[in-house]
């Protein structure tokens, strides 16, 4: 009897240990399988890499940029790297532009911009695209605004000169375009603003 009880206990114990070992092994397999399965967009939304950190332009400088470009109600304004949307929103709200577009890589800033446009009552004329600015389609653009970095301006220069219509005005906050000399500069709040106008004939040296 004693021996029978010992045998039952022994068999039960072995089974319990086996189950728990099997459970661990299955869990481990699941984890390994997860690690090897490429993440789907719904599991992890990868944040696209920004070429420039987010630093907003002050309202005074936003106005000075739009004034330097002599923005009117006939214009279509694109802000490349639009942050919280303040430049396109101001262009619509204060300058009455036909249309304004913000191109921004950071999806959270795009959401914030859309809410800001809604609150400002201009979402019928202001749109935001979550996109790499190097992929921008400049449909209808007559003014382009930039607050990027010197190397990003230089990398962008051939695209601007090849894809924008002659006569399009480009305004940059703080940074120049290397060999492409500005038509005009102004000083505002200790920073320089640059204005260029896309020429009919683009010199080859500016396309590199």
Ligand X SMILES: C[S@@+](CC[C@H](N)C(=O)[O-])C[C@H]1O[C@@H](n2cnc3c(N)ncnc32)[C@H](O)[C@@H]1O
The answer to whether 54 contacts ligand X (rule: CB under 6 A) is yes
DSSP state of 77: E
- For 53-69, b/e burial (b = at least 16 CB within 10 A) is eeeebeeebbbbbbebb
| Per-position x/- string for 62-81, each x denoting binding to ligand X as judged by CB under 6 A, each - no binding | -----------------x-x
Q: Is 145 exposed, middle or buried (0-12, 13-18, 19+ CB in 10 A)?
A: buried
- The residue from 112, 132, 163, 176 that contacts ligand X (CB under 6 A) is 132
How many angstroms separate the CA atoms of 132 and 80, rounded?
9
DSSP state of 180: B
The answer to whether 82 contacts ligand X (rule: CB under 6 A) is yes
For residue 107, what are the CA distances in angstroms to 27, 73, 151?
35, 29, 23
The answer to whether 87 contacts ligand X (rule: CB under 6 A) is yes
- The residue from 1, 44, 55, 187 that contacts ligand X (CB under 6 A) is 55
| Per-position x/- string for 159-188, each x denoting binding to ligand X as judged by CB under 6 A, each - no binding | ------------------------------
The interface region with ligand X, picked from 25-33, 100-108, 178-186, 200-208 by CB under 6 A, is 100-108
How many angstroms separate the CA atoms of 12 and 49, rounded?
57
Size of the site for ligand X (CB under 6 A): 21
Please check whether residue 142 is in contact with residue 117, taking contact to mean a CB–CB distance below 8 angstroms.
no
| Per-position x/- string for 107-126, each x denoting binding to ligand X as judged by CB under 6 A, each - no binding | --x-----------------
The interface region with ligand X, picked from 6-14, 47-55, 67-75, 184-192 by CB under 6 A, is 47-55
Q: How far is the CB of 108 from ligand X (least distance, A)?
A: 9
For residue 118, the SS3 value is: helix
Contacts of 193 (CB under 8 A, 6+ apart): 61, 64, 65, 68, 171, 172, 173, 174, 185, 186, 187
CB nearer to ligand X: pick between 59 and 121: 59
Residues found near ligand X in the complex (CB under 6 A): 50-52, 54-57, 79, 81-83, 86-87, 103-106, 109, 132-133, 147
């Amino acid at each position: 009897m004693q021996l029978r009880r010992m045998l039952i206990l022994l068999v039960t114990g072995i089974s319990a240990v086996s189950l728990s070992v099997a459970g661990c092994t299955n869990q481990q397999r699941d984890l390994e399988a997860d690690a090897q399965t490429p993440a789907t967009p719904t599991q992890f939304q990868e944040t696209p890499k920004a070429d420039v950190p987010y630093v907003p332009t002050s309202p005074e400088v936003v106005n000075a940029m739009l004034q330097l470009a002599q923005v009117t109600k006939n214009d279509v304004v694109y802000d490349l790297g639009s942050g919280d949307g303040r430049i396109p929103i101001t262009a619509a709200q204060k300058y009455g532009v036909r249309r304004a577009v913000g191109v921004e890589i950071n999806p959270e800033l795009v959401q914030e911009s859309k809410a800001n446009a809604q609150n400002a009552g201009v979402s019928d004329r202001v749109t935001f695209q979550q996109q790499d600015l190097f992929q921008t389609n400049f449909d209808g653009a007559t003014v382009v605004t930039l607050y990027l970095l010197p190397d990003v301006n230089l990398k962008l220069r051939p695209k601007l000169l090849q894809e924008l219509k002659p006569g399009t005005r480009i305004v940059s906050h703080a940074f120049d375009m290397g060999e492409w000399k500005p038509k005009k500069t102004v000083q505002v709040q200790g920073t320089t603003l640059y204005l260029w106008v896309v020429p009919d004939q683009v010199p080859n040296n500016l396309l590199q």
